[in-house]
Structures are given as structure tokens and as C-alpha cells.
A and B are shown apart, each in its own frame.
Chain A
Amino acid sequence: MMHSLNRHVRMLTAGAAMSLILMAGGPAFAETPADTLVEGWAIDDIITMDPGEAFELSTAEVTANTYSYLVRLDINDTSKVVGDLAESWTVSDDGLTYTFKMKPDAKFASGNPVTAEDVAYSIERVVKLDKSPAFILTQFGLTGDNVTEKAKATDAGTFTFTVDKAYAPSFVLNCLTATVGAVVDKKLVLEHVAAVTPSAEYKYDNDFGNEWLKTGYAGSGAFKLREWRANEVVVMERNDNYYGEKTPLARVIYRHMKESSGQRLALEAGDIDVARNLEPGDFDAVSKNAELATTNAPKGTVYYFSLNQKNANLAKPEVAEAFKYLVDYDAIGSTLIKGIGEIHQTFLPKGVLGELPENPYKLDVAKAKELLAKAGLADGFTVTMDVRNTQPITGIAESIQQTLAQANIKMEIVPGDGKQTLTKYRNRTHDIYIGQWGQDYFDPNSNAETFTVNPDNSDEGKNKTLAWRNTWDVPKEWTEESKAALLEKDATKRADMYKDLQKKVLEKSPFVVIFQQTEVAGTRANVKGFKLGPSFDTNYVFTVSKD
């Protein structure tokens, strides 16, 4: 036993010595390779890399950097689009047919040439697969039966797109800049299609490469996708076949890191070049560090809370108005969302055509009490709010709880996980819901539709917009106006119609919009040209370089 004890001791000492040696090898300054950009980012929302299926923010960014589109948003003026694979385009006089001339020399990463055929196939597969984001294209009257006619290549260099109504061209073009507009390599995808037995739900005999593209890649962007490992890493590499300017960086790696403080530490130590999920405290510290830099951009996401009109108290118009006076916008803006958001009370985010920079409401308890008295609720009432347990949502809910109490409204916070509160919201069983709404595509219609259109307010309603979720019977004229704005060719007039709608919603709706999200990032000082775009589709990294 003594022997074995000695052996133990010897092993222990040897182990300890070994760890010391290993550690003493130590304090070298961590640095990422000069040709590689490493971003720390929570990428656990990614569930597929197929541009015909993906509808998540992280995927939008990866797709935008690895695929080319027909057209893209002009990041200097987001009310316009510029050509990407399309050299030019024309719209027919009746406003129904869009003809795109393709750039002649573009190639996919595989080396295959990019032709109008590829564009047509990309749209065909989106429409036929009919996944979550397909409506962005099918809203133009495209169906599985007519898509090959409506979206087709007249020759290798010409693509025509036919829509069912004379929509505002800005609307059509904006929709083509969404992730579903990414052009896939038809030849390459066809090599990877899987056979499917047609059924009532899905009448095609193949999956258009969906299974393969979930993790595969068939694009022509500045970068090519090398790998995505769920909850771990996304790796992009320079695409030497890219038609445009070659990227300064050879590689961009998104590393899944969920924790703000962890990102900050790794950024400070130089193990990552960019930190993407910094919370206000960490962002503040990063901005004060001379070796680091920060950048930010307003994003198309608004945070709001809404009152379910099934609740008799909340259905009273005075109550809805009173709630708008019972939010301490200034306090929320200067503390809870400092650096990550900006007070914003209208439903269209800043940067979108028709934005209305008006924030008329301020905390005014007296005014709110007056309104509540008018509604016969001077003594207040009790109500619940479903709150997901993440910041800044929880903090804002608590702030609202306090200000409501000043007008005798007792609000109970029902905490829940994100998916849980959302399930309740979508079943219309909430009283008050607090959450965010991000645009589905970069066009005012995306938000205008969800905030002002509700054709069937019954529980069976098929068009489950935010208005529907809150059981709000939108005045018919508003819905009409929203639809008319879609057909307005004159961009200025179109913008005015959205401004008018926003004013109405601001005054008389069960929605209390509080702020617009600002996306922030911290970078190492040697990272050059890192700029966040107005949407996740425009967070480009292909111009980034390192000193």
C-alpha cells in the first residue's frame, strides 16, 4: 500500500509538473491569422443554408455574402436597388413584365457560367418547394403551375419576370433582394436532387436539391460557404470565380458564442476580431478601449407591445390610447436600450421608404388617468403580459408595469421562454404581448401588411398578421389603403400613403411601438471596412480587410 501510495504521489507530481510546463509555454498574445476574420456571434438560429428555405437572420447574412442576387439594396440609399447579376432591367408599360439583362461574365464558385436559366430555376424551386419564405415571391401571383411561364429565361442573357398586378416596381425589386432571391447553380443543384414520391401536399418528383442545400452550397457570391456546423461554426472562403472585386480576406469564420461577456473577453484578448452580441454594459466597455472600435446601424426591427382586443377592457379605444401615455420612453431609451436601440413609435423602421420620424407620445400619467376615467376605468383593472425572459424585453416589461401601476392598472408579468410566449400569442390567448417584429423583406409593405391588414378576424382566419393575432378588426379603408400603396408607381406618393397609415395606427390601434433595434458590433482596431448594413442581408464582409 505504501508503494502504491508513493506511485500515486509520483503520478500526481508528474501530472502537476506537466501542466506547469504546458502552461508556462504560455502568455503569447493571441491573434487570429492575418487573412482570416473571426466573428463571435450567436448563430444558433440557423436551421438551414438553403436560400429557398432559410428565413433566419444569421442565414440572411451568410447568404448575402456567399450568393449573388439579381438585384441588391443600395446600401447608400436603401430606398433604391442596384444590379448584382443583372446589368440592367426594364419594366413594361402595363407594369406586369420585368426584363433583366444579365451580366455576361459572371460565374458560379463551381466554375459554371451564371445564366438566366439559373435565375429561372432558383425562382422555380422556391415557389415549388413552398417553404416559409416562399410567400415573398408567390405574393406576385406565382404558383407551382405557372412559375415556369412567369419566371423564365428568354435566352441565356435575358430573364423575364411577370407579376399579376401592376405593383409599384420598388416593391417587386425590393422583394427580389431578399434571401429567396439568391441565385443557385442549376447544373450543380441538379447533380444533388433527391427523388421524392409525389403526394397531395407535394406534387413534384424531386426535392430541387433542398436536402443537399441545407448544408451545401451552390452560389456565386464574393465568398463561398465551406462549412456550417450547427451551434458551432460557419466558415466562408474567398470565391476566386467571383465576378466582382476579389475579397481582401481569404476566410471569414463565424464562431458560435452566446455570451456577451465571453465575446468581450475574447475580443479584448484578440481571439476574435468582431463581437456581435454585446450587451449595453460590455459594448460600453469595448467603446472605451483604445485597441478596439465599435460600429452600429439601425436594423429593420421594431419592438412593441400589443393589446389583445378579446379582452373587454383592452378593447376600449381610450384604454389603448392611455397605454401609449403610460410608457416611460425617455427612461427606457436612456438606460435599458442605450446603444442597442432608439425610441421609435411608428411601425416602419428608419431607413425604409415611407418612414415617419414622429414620436409624439411621452409618459403622461394625468392624461392617461383622464382617458381611463372616460372609459369608466378610473379605478384601473388587472391584466397580464406575456414576457419572454431575455433582455431588454424583461426590463422594459418591468418598467411598463411600474408606470401602469401609477394609473391603477395592475399588470402581472407572465414570464416564459421565447417559443412559449409566441405560441400563446399565435393562439390569441394572451392579454398583452411584448416582442419584436422584423421585416420579412426590405419594403414598407412587409410591416404595413402585418400591422394594418386583417381580412378575417375570426379564430379561423388564414392571414395571421399581427393585427389578426391581437383580434383587431382593422377599419376596411385602412386595409384598402395599404393594398393601394402596393400598386402606386410614384415612389413619393407611395411613401406618403405609408406615412398616412402610420399616423392612423399611431393614434388608433392596439399597438404601442416603443423602439427600433440598433445592431452593434465591437471590432479589433486592425479590422478595416467592417460596416453593419441596414438589414441582415446587407451585413457584408467582402470589403473587410485587416492591417
Chain B
Amino acid sequence: MSIPETVPTAGRSRARANGWAKSILRFLVIIVTTYLGLLAVTFFIGRVIPIDPVLAVLGDRAPAHVVERTRELMGFNKPLYEQFYIYVRDALTGNFGTSVLTTNPVMADIRRVFPATLELATLGTIIGSLIGVPLGVLAAVKRGSIADQIVRVVGLVGYSVPIFWLALLSLLFFYAKLRWVAYPGRIDIVYEYSFTPITGLYLLDSLWQGQWDVFRDVFRHIILPAGLLGYFSLAYISRMTRSFMLNELSQEYIVAARAKGLSETRIIWGHALRNAAVPLVTVIALSYAGLLEGSVLTETVFAWPGLGLYITNSLQNADMNAVLGGTIVIGSVFIAINILSDLLYRTLDPRTRAR
């Protein structure tokens, strides 16, 4: 009697294992094709832009024979597909080439600039969601009220005002007039050589080492750019929260909850927001990923040595190794955040777990 019972169980678990294997395989295929596609597109765009890459390496004043020799050495006179093949082959062995602008291996550069962007984007997103979500909820609950109007205007301004203008204005106000924050860069030069970062995330590093004065200085440097980025993601997040919440609040289960006599707070935060949270995770994740690309304008204004500045500078100089390396990192960030938000989905939405 026990045998017929175990067979289907084994079959089921095998089927499940199969399913897992399949989904992992599918996932791998997607990742590999995504990367290859990403690389191919960036590579070919990089090679057809009307900029002579040798010019970036040597500058305008190099004599003709030096230009020719460099072109030869860098392999620019090989056919495009061959250049691409060489690039992918090297990339697979972990060699992403050397940046011509900084003369460092590309990955060493990115390890240096990425933490700056990561720290800024993370803090920005935290600020954006901690303020944006409650504001959005408030606007939805008090729909049509003054509060709603204010939230919407705040969102609209965040959407439409150019960030460099707001950045300069806020610098003028908070830095030049009020002297609340510090500028430029990530840390005061006084600490430049007394503080040794470990992870490159200065806030964490200074806390870890118990250097409170450094932490305070770093905080004063980061709070304005992070606040600005936070404001911009807040604009997006609050609008989306508002519309998700409006959608939830008109559902029947809300009526049921009210009929049951639940408190309004419980209904809004415990039921409606709980359900709105699922799509909201995607919104926040996307906005986070966007910030992780590095905000070029913010980084320029605040002299923030981050990824956005690095890639833009490389692009303008046709420093293709650096651009490709940066693209891979950004691609990985998007993939990682997608996986992460998928996992969060599972914890937030029981239905995805059941499947």
C-alpha cells in the first residue's frame, strides 16, 4: 500500500526539481543573452560613433606616426567582429581592459567610483521612500483635499524642475547661506589622509571605525545630494503610491473591512497599503536602479566622484573599455535588483508563494 503512495510523491518532487532546474536554466539563458546583447549593442554603438578613439588616447597634438602606431597597438584597424570577439574573450577571463583616461584597469576604477554612487543612491532611495510612501498614502486618503493638492504639486515640481538647477539653488541656500552642509565632494580634505575607507561606503566605514567626527563630516557632505536625489525619487514614489492606494481603497474588501468595524488606520496601513506594497516594490526598485546608474548632473554639480561622472566622461572621450565595463556593472545592478524585487514579491504576496 505504501508503494503506490510514494511513487507519486517522488514523481512530484522530481517534477518540482525539474521545474527548478528549468527555471534556473531559463534564468541563466536570459542573463547570458542579456549580457551579450548589452555588450554587442554598446560595443557597436561605441565603434560607429564619429569619434576617433585614438584621439582620446593621444590628444589632438600627437604626430601622425604615433597615431598610426597606437591605432595598430590598440587593434582598431582589425575588423569589428574580430575586435568584439577579442573583447568578449578577455571579458570572460575577467579582463575588462584598461581605461585610457585613468590608465587603471576598468574594474579597479569601477570599484573605486561605484561605492560613491551606491552610498548616494541608497540614502536617496531611503529618503525618497520613507517620505514618499506616507505622502502618497496621505494624498490618496485625503483625496481632493489641500494635502492632496500639496503632495501633487510637490511631486510635479520634482518631476519637472531640472535637477542641476535645483542642485545649484540648494547649494546656494543650504551651503553658501545657511552653512548647514559641506561641499564639495564626499569628505573634507582634512580627513582625506587620516581616514582609510574599507568598503568605500564612507558613512558605514566611519561608523565602523568609530570616527564620529568623520561620520559627521561625511554626513554633511552627502545629505544634500542624497536629499535631492531623494526628492526626485519621492516625486515618483508618492505619485505611484497615491494611484496604487486609490485603486486599493476602492476595492470591495475595504468596504468589507469598514463594515467589520476596523479602525481607519488599520484599514489604510494594514490592509490597503499592504496590498499596494506589491507593485510599489517594483516602483521603488526601479527608481533605486535608476539612481544607481549614477546621476550625472548631480555628480557634476557636487563634484561627487561616482559612476555617472565616470561613464559620461569616458563616453565623451570614446574610452570604450570604460564604457563597456560600466555598462556591464549597470546591467548587473538591474538584474540583481530585479531578482531582489522578485524575492520581495514572494514574501509580500502569498499568491506568488503558493504557485
Where the two chains meet, the residues of A that have a C-beta atom closer than 8 Å to any C-beta of B are: 1-2, 5, 12, 15, 19, 22-23, 25-30, 32-33, 36, 38, 40, 44, 47-48, 55-56, 130-135, 201, 214-215, 229-233, 235, 253, 255-259, 261-262, 265-266, 268-269, 271-272, 417-420, 422-424, 426, 440, 462-464
Further pairs besides A230-B101, A265-B183: 5, Cβ < 8 Å: A47-B102, A55-B61, A231-B101, A255-B303, A424-B50
B313 at the interface (CB under 8 A from A): yes
| Chain A to chain B contacts (Cβ below 8 Å), 19 pairs | A2-B266, A26-B180, A27-B180, A30-B179, A36-B189, A38-B189, A47-B59, A47-B100, A47-B102, A131-B66, A133-B61, A214-B103, A230-B101, A232-B305, A255-B185, A262-B171, A268-B176, A422-B55, A423-B51
User: Contacting chain A: which of B215-223, B329-337, B341-349?
Assistant: B215-223
In contact, B55 and A44 (Cβ under 8 angstroms): no
B182 at the interface (CB under 8 A from A): yes
In contact, B270 and A259 (Cβ under 8 angstroms): no
**What chain B residues lie within 8 Å of A230 (beta carbons)?**
99, 101-104, 109
Given contact pairs A230-B104, A259-B300, A132 touches B58 in the complex (Cβ within 8 A)? yes
Which of A201, A214, A272, A420 contacts B50, CB < 8 Å?
A: A420
Q: How far is the CB of A522 from chain B (nearest CB, A)?
A: 15
Q: Provide the B196-233 mask, 1 if CB < 8 A to any CB of A, else 0.
A: 00000000000000000000100110010000000000
**What chain B residues lie within 8 Å of A262 (beta carbons)?**
168, 171, 183-184, 301-303
User: Within the assembled complex, what's the spacing in Å between the Cα atoms of A266 and B171?
Assistant: 10
User: Within the assembled complex, what's the spacing in Å between the Cα atoms of A257 and B101?
Assistant: 17
The 10 A-B residue pairs whose C-beta atoms are closest, nearest first, are A230-B102, A132-B62, A1-B270, A27-B179, A423-B52, A419-B51, A257-B303, A214-B103, A232-B305, A135-B63
**What chain A residues lie within 8 Å of B51 (beta carbons)?**
417, 419-420, 423
**What chain A residues lie within 8 Å of B104 (beta carbons)?**
230
In contact, A55 and B59 (Cβ under 8 angstroms): yes
**What chain A residues lie within 8 Å of B182 (beta carbons)?**
30, 271
In contact, A32 and B313 (Cβ under 8 angstroms): no
Q: How far is the CB of B120 from chain A (nearest CB, A)?
A: 15
**What chain B residues lie within 8 Å of A426 (beta carbons)?**
52, 55, 60
Which of B50, B61, B220 contacts A23, CB < 8 Å?
A: B220
Q: Provide the B25-69 mask, 1 if CB < 8 A to any CB of A, else 0.
A: 000000000000000000000000111100111111111111001
**What chain B residues lie within 8 Å of A463 (beta carbons)?**
64
In contact, B180 and A255 (Cβ under 8 angstroms): no
Q: How far is the CB of A10 from chain B (nearest CB, A)?
A: 13
Q: Provide the B128-147 mask, 1 if CB < 8 A to any CB of A, else 0.
A: 00100000000000000000
**What chain A residues lie within 8 Å of B287 (beta carbons)?**
none
Q: Which residue of A lies closest to B174 (CB)?
A: A23
User: Within the assembled complex, what's the spacing in Å between the Cα atoms of A418 and B58?
Assistant: 14
Given contact pairs A23-B220, A269-B179, A419 touches B103 in the complex (Cβ within 8 A)? no
Q: How far is the CB of A304 from chain B (nearest CB, A)?
A: 14
B17 at the interface (CB under 8 A from A): no
Which of B64, B130, B172 contacts A265, CB < 8 Å?
A: B172
Q: Which residue of B lies closest to A28 (CB)?
A: B179
B7 at the interface (CB under 8 A from A): no
Given contact pairs A32-B189, A231-B313, A259-B300, A422 touches B102 in the complex (Cβ within 8 A)? no
**What chain A residues lie within 8 Å of B180 (beta carbons)?**
23, 26-27
**What chain A residues lie within 8 Å of B190 (beta carbons)?**
33
**What chain A residues lie within 8 Å of B84 (beta carbons)?**
none
In contact, A22 and B220 (Cβ under 8 angstroms): yes
Which of A1, A19, A134 contacts B266, CB < 8 Å?
A: A1
Q: How far is the CB of A12 from chain B (nearest CB, A)?
A: 6
In contact, B65 and A462 (Cβ under 8 angstroms): yes
Which of A130, A231, A255, A261 contacts B310, CB < 8 Å?
A: A231
B23 at the interface (CB under 8 A from A): no
B82 at the interface (CB under 8 A from A): no
In contact, B183 and A269 (Cβ under 8 angstroms): yes
In contact, A27 and B178 (Cβ under 8 angstroms): yes
Q: Which residue of A lies closest to B310 (CB)?
A: A231
In contact, B305 and A132 (Cβ under 8 angstroms): no
User: Within the assembled complex, what's the spacing in Å between the Cα atoms of A47 and B104?
Assistant: 10
**What chain B residues lie within 8 Å of A419 (beta carbons)?**
51-52, 55-56, 316-318
**What chain A residues lie within 8 Å of B112 (beta carbons)?**
229
**What chain A residues lie within 8 Å of B72 (beta carbons)?**
201
**What chain B residues lie within 8 Å of A47 (beta carbons)?**
57, 59, 100-103
Q: How far is the CB of B176 from chain A (nearest CB, A)?
A: 5
Q: Which residue of A lies closest to B319 (CB)?
A: A47
Q: How far is the CB of A1 from chain B (nearest CB, A)?
A: 4
In contact, A231 and B102 (Cβ under 8 angstroms): yes
Q: How far is the CB of A191 from chain B (nearest CB, A)?
A: 20
User: Within the assembled complex, what's the spacing in Å between the Cα atoms of A230 and B313?
Assistant: 11
**What chain A residues lie within 8 Å of B59 (beta carbons)?**
47, 55-56, 132
User: Within the assembled complex, what's the spacing in Å between the Cα atoms of A40 and B301?
Assistant: 13
**What chain A residues lie within 8 Å of B313 (beta carbons)?**
44, 231
**What chain B residues lie within 8 Å of A27 (beta carbons)?**
178-180
In contact, A201 and B69 (Cβ under 8 angstroms): yes
User: Within the assembled complex, what's the spacing in Å between the Cα atoms of A44 and B184?
Assistant: 16
**What chain B residues lie within 8 Å of A462 (beta carbons)?**
64-65
Q: How far is the CB of B258 from chain A (nearest CB, A)?
A: 16
Q: Which residue of A lies closest to B186 (CB)?
A: A232
User: Within the assembled complex, what's the spacing in Å between the Cα atoms of A272 and B65?
Assistant: 42
In contact, B69 and A12 (Cβ under 8 angstroms): no
Q: Which residue of B lies closest to A450 (CB)?
A: B61
**What chain A residues lie within 8 Å of B69 (beta carbons)?**
130, 201
User: Within the assembled complex, what's the spacing in Å between the Cα atoms of A232 and B301?
Assistant: 14
Which of A15, A55, A130, A231 contacts B309, CB < 8 Å?
A: A231
**What chain A residues lie within 8 Å of B20 (beta carbons)?**
none
B175 at the interface (CB under 8 A from A): yes
In contact, B310 and A417 (Cβ under 8 angstroms): no
Q: Which residue of A lies closest to B63 (CB)?
A: A135
User: Within the assembled complex, what's the spacing in Å between the Cα atoms of A217 and B308?
Assistant: 30
In contact, B189 and A253 (Cβ under 8 angstroms): yes
B73 at the interface (CB under 8 A from A): yes
User: Within the assembled complex, what's the spacing in Å between the Cα atoms of A79 and B313?
Assistant: 38
**What chain B residues lie within 8 Å of A22 (beta carbons)?**
216, 219-220
**What chain A residues lie within 8 Å of B274 (beta carbons)?**
1
B269 at the interface (CB under 8 A from A): yes
**What chain B residues lie within 8 Å of A15 (beta carbons)?**
130
Q: How far is the CB of A44 from chain B (nearest CB, A)?
A: 6
**What chain A residues lie within 8 Å of B219 (beta carbons)?**
19, 22
In contact, B52 and A2 (Cβ under 8 angstroms): no
User: Within the assembled complex, what's the spacing in Å between the Cα atoms of A269 and B64?
Assistant: 47
User: Within the assembled complex, what's the spacing in Å between the Cα atoms of A271 and B223?
Assistant: 17
User: Within the assembled complex, what's the spacing in Å between the Cα atoms of A439 and B300?
Assistant: 29
User: Within the assembled complex, what's the spacing in Å between the Cα atoms of A19 and B168?
Assistant: 22
In contact, B60 and A422 (Cβ under 8 angstroms): yes
User: Within the assembled complex, what's the spacing in Å between the Cα atoms of A506 and B112?
Assistant: 50
